[in-house]
Amino acid sequence: MMKFKNWDIQISKNYPKTWILGLHIYLPLLAFLYLLFYGLGWAYYTADMPGFHEIEDYSFGITQFSILPMFVIAILFSIRQVKFNSLRVHHQVPYKYPYRYFFAFFTVFLLITSIPIAVNFGLLHKLGGQIDEVKFIKDLPVLNKGYTHFYQSNFSSQIYDKDVPFKISVDEEGYETQTSRYIIVGTYRMDERIDSLIISRSYVHYAVSGSYIGDTSLRSYAKSGWDTIHLNDVLVQIEDFKKVAPFYEGDLDNPSIVGLEIIKTHYMHNAANGNLEERDQENFDLIKNNSRFKEVVDCYASIITKNGPLNTTKGSFWLYYITFPLSLSLLLFTICSVKITDFGWSLLVSALTGMILMLINGLFAISTNYGEEVQLVLNLFLVTFIIVLFLFMIISKKVKSTISKAFTISFQMFFFFLVFSYFGIFDALHDCPYMGIDRSELCKNYEYFESSNYYLFAYSLCVVLVLIGIGVFNGVYTRKYIHPKN
Amino acid sequence: MELFRAEGILKHFPRSNFRLSIPSLTLAAGSITGVVGENGNGKTTLLDIVAGESHGEGNYSYFSNNIDSKSKWLELKNNIGFIPQRIPRWFGTLEQNLILKASLEGISPNDIDKELDELLDFLGLQKYRKLKWTEISTGYRLRFELARVLIGNPKLLVLDEPLANLDINTQQKFLSDLKELLSKKDYPLAVILSSQQLHEIESVADQMIFLRQGQVVYSGSLEAIAEEETTFLYEVQLIHNDSLTVEAVLKKVSSEFKKVGPYYQVTTENDVSSFLSSLTKSDCELKYFRNLSQSTKRFFN
């Protein structure tokens, strides 16, 4: 303990800013936790390729456990900054380099808040090492094509082509259409010439227009079509599947069965029924353990595409994830830039503003029959009004200094959220009156952006505004309240 | 050598309609300036403006430099040591805070211990350095705060009501420390402080400023007060069962006196010795006497 104290004092003598940030304590601690949770991810038992839900459960369990140290460290770090870093303001040491401190806070918070994600990196590296990605990508089309001939249940067959990108085209009516990635096998029969197999596959087509809300011409519709495959191709597909599937635990009930037998069985059955309509098809399953086969292929696909918890290892996840440490560092930067009592007043201002906003929204919702769209416009007006009001309170010389200061601090804290709420409102106003491509939510209809680009633009703009806001706030606050003479 | 000069200090509070107006203020190296006045008359406002904690109109010059840019002002402000009336609490050990301040001030790591030892020895704080803020009394907190401020080697020390909440012995110790500090420092240093402890402040101050409703009633040395006034002012307390008798005694000495609390303030042309001899000849017992002739207390109503 004495050795630690002496070392601690030496750090404060030689590197005071490092000491204030507590990097000499938190960096080793964080490194230890990263190794620990990464190791827990790496230690996952993978002798048999697990079902992906098992990986999800494991990741979720460790993440839950790792949230606790994350919270403790985040709180301790914040307290340390409030204790020591804010003293630089309170004790009249000029706060010269706001960005330096902001980015220091941001970096530390990024490291702290990503502790729970370390387990997923461990899992990814372990599982990624277990599978042969190149082989799987090569095998996947073979499995997709061949599976149709080995398994059919309730007239459908799962096709493993999740990574096939959407095919986007503009049809003759000017609608942008996208073909669904899921192909449903409906009918399986030989045509009259006996040299080709006709498979009815339903293609879901989806119409998206670049028009505005209220355009009743917008519609979505599905199309279906027929696939005709030459018999020789079918035989190749079957033989290829037989070779590839066992690697993914897709062993056949009868490994020696030949393609013609399979086709004949299906054809004979359908012909015997005398009715080749879709609903007369019989289910068939030639795979020994179909659910296990699907589980293994799903798991391979999920690992390669980084689905579920592994999504946290993608760059796109981190792009948006930094909002979290960004908000925390903005909050801490604000606390450390002002006196605690002033910060308390600003919290009151923020809470009251939020409460009034919600109250107006609530009253509007229960007392009027206007739809969601009108309420969104109302919120647009309210947010604009709040920004104008806050700017007035900050700039006006008629407002008491203490009140003006509280509004300045409060504005700095939720300016980010105000701007983001603008984009949220605009986003909601751009909902189409029908479901989106993935059928889970309403489609979006932006005039100038693709949906994903819109969010990226909104997000980037918010981040830039936060960075500008820090400089402006620091300048205004310093000029008005900390070093008022300059 | 002038360390601070301001012309036309002006600060207006529209809501209370209070206006602080100081035509000029000069703080010379090696001097202690006391700011006195009743509560709410602008002492803290004036000190805040001098320390750069509050904005006031006027022309200011710190250490012979005008404030013509932000960076210049920040650089100048580094040379101002300010101790507010309410000292923010320290976290961690007192020693740790002082080390941190010394380190942030750019003192070489090898010299920090030596510098701290000298400072803590001078302020009599050596045995408390390992303690925490909550483990020391108000008087020691003030002295530690003074130590912390002094680490930065400020050229101008601004102390707002430093004697409040200190017992009389601690007050005197603190003031004598200040006086000694001025004589020991090998660089120019000026001190300005406000207080309600008139006599204690006057015992060390070279210059006094008396404020009333934001205006300067008096500014100058204590000797100058006596030179300006043609009469003497004494504060006495006489013991007798009958207050009429006391007043009769005072009437014999002077026709001009008034009761202020338990005391009488007597304005007379008699010097101290003749005034005292007159009193001692009376039937009353002289319990308390103070010569206010050279004190700003004579400006209090």
Q: What is the pLDDT of residues A31-80, one digit of tens each?
A: 999 999 999 999 887 777 778 888 899 999 999 999 999 999 999 999 99
Nearest C-alpha in A relative to B56: A485
Assess contact for B8 and B58: CB atoms under 8 A: yes
Contacts of residue A93 in chain B, CB cutoff 8 Å? 78, 104
The pLDDT score that the predictor gives to residue B19 is: 93
* B contact test, residue of A24, A92, A482 with most B CBs within 10 A: A92
Three-state DSSP at B263 gives strand
Q: Among A159-163, A229-233, B50-54, B180-184, whose mean pLDDT is lowest?
A: A159-163
B243 versus A78: which is more confidently predicted?
Answer: A78
ipTM surpasses cut 0.90: no
- Characterize the bridge pairing of strands B190-194 and B156-159: parallel
Does residue A5 belong to the interface with chain B, where contact is any CB pair within 8 Å?
no
Q: In what order do the strands lie in the sheet with A196-203?
A: A184-190, A196-203, A223-230
B87 and B65: one domain?
Answer: yes
User: Which of A210, A125, A138, A139 is closest to A174 using CA atoms?
Assistant: A210
B272 and B287: one domain?
Answer: yes
Q: Which of residues 397-436 of A touch B (CB under 8 A)?
A: 398, 400
How confident is residue B177, by pLDDT bands cut at 50, 70 and 90? confident
B133 and B150: one domain?
Answer: yes
The pLDDT score that the predictor gives to residue A207 is: 43
Nearest C-alpha in B relative to A12: B100
Measure B214 CA to nearest chain A CA, in Å.
19
Read out DSSP for A203-222? EPEEEE-S--TT-TT-----
Predicted TM-score (pTM) of the model is 0.78
Contacts of residue B70 in chain A, CB cutoff 8 Å? 479, 483, 486
Residue B11 main-chain phi, psi, to 5 deg: -145, 125
Q: Burial letters for A197-227: b for 16+ Cβ neighbours within 10 Å, e otherwise? A: bebbbbebbbbbbeeeeeeeebebeeeeeee
Contacts of residue A17 in chain B, CB cutoff 8 Å? 104
Does residue A90 belong to the interface with chain B, where contact is any CB pair within 8 Å?
yes
Structural domain ending residue among the three candidates B206, B225, B244? B225
B26 and B155: one domain?
Answer: yes
Nearest C-alpha in A relative to B99: A13
Assess contact for A17 and A97: CB atoms under 8 A: no
Map tokens 């702290």 to a residue. Answer: A112
Contacts of residue A24 in chain B, CB cutoff 8 Å? none
Measure A93 CA to nearest chain B CA, in Å.
7
A94 and B77 within 8 Å at the Cβ level: the answer is yes
B109 and A96 within 8 Å at the Cβ level: the answer is no
Size of interface A-B (CB pairs under 8 A): 68
* A contact test, residue of B11, B13, B49, B55 with most A CBs within 10 A: B55
CATH number where B95 lies: 3.40.50.300
Q: Given its phi and psi angles, is residue A48 left (phi above 0), alpha (psi -120 to 50 degrees) or beta?
A: beta
Instruction: Please state the domain count of chain B.
Output: 2
The pLDDT score that the predictor gives to residue A349 is: 94
Cβ count near B231 (within 10 Å): 13
Domain residue limits at B25? 2-225
Assess contact for A409 and A440: CB atoms under 8 A: no
Q: Which of A16, A480, A483 sits opposite B77 (nearest CB)?
A: A483
B123 has a pLDDT exceeding 70 = yes
Read out DSSP for A61-112? HHHHHHHHHHHHHHHHHHHHIIIIITHHHHTT-----HHHHHHHHHHHHHHH
B155 and B279: one domain?
Answer: no
**Which chain B residues have any C-beta within 8 angstroms of a chain A C-beta?**
14-15, 51-55, 60, 67, 69-70, 72-74, 77-78, 80, 82, 88, 91-92, 96, 99-104, 109, 112, 148
B85 and B170: one domain?
Answer: yes
The pLDDT score that the predictor gives to residue A431 is: 65
Q: Which of B55, B88, B104 sits opposite A90 (nearest CB)?
A: B88
Contacts of residue A88 in chain B, CB cutoff 8 Å? 104
Nearest C-alpha in A relative to B105: A93
Contacts of residue A84 in chain B, CB cutoff 8 Å? 91-92, 100
Structural domain ending residue among the three candidates B164, B191, B225? B225
Measure A345 CA to nearest chain B CA, in Å.
18
Which tokens belong to A329? 């560092």
Q: Which residues of chain A have pLDDT under 70?
A: 86-96, 153-228, 266-282, 429-453, 485-486
Structural domain ending residue among the three candidates B225, B252, B271? B225
B112 and A483 within 8 Å at the Cβ level: the answer is no
B176 and B259: one domain?
Answer: no
Q: Which of B14, B55, B103 sits opposite A13 (nearest CB)?
A: B103
B100 and A16 within 8 Å at the Cβ level: the answer is yes
Does residue A396 belong to the interface with chain B, where contact is any CB pair within 8 Å?
no
Distance in angstroms (rounded) separating the CA atoms of residues A104 and A329 = 9
Does residue A341 belong to the interface with chain B, where contact is any CB pair within 8 Å?
no
Contacts of residue A16 in chain B, CB cutoff 8 Å? 100, 103-104
B220 and B263: one domain?
Answer: no
B68 and B215: one domain?
Answer: yes
| Long-range Cβ contact pairs of B75-78 (< 8 A, separation 24 or more) | B77/A92, B77/A94, B77/A483, B77/A485, B77/B52, B78/A93, B78/A94, B78/B152
B218 and B232: one domain?
Answer: no
Does residue A14 belong to the interface with chain B, where contact is any CB pair within 8 Å?
yes
CATH number where B286 lies: 3.30.70.100
The pLDDT score that the predictor gives to residue A170 is: 47
Distance in angstroms (rounded) separating the CA atoms of residues A484 and A101 = 21
Cβ count near B116 (within 10 Å): 21
A483 and B52 within 8 Å at the Cβ level: the answer is yes
B221 and B232: one domain?
Answer: no
B194 and B290: one domain?
Answer: no
* B contact test, residue of A7, A12, A85, A479 with most B CBs within 10 A: A12
Amino acid in the structure at residue B46: L
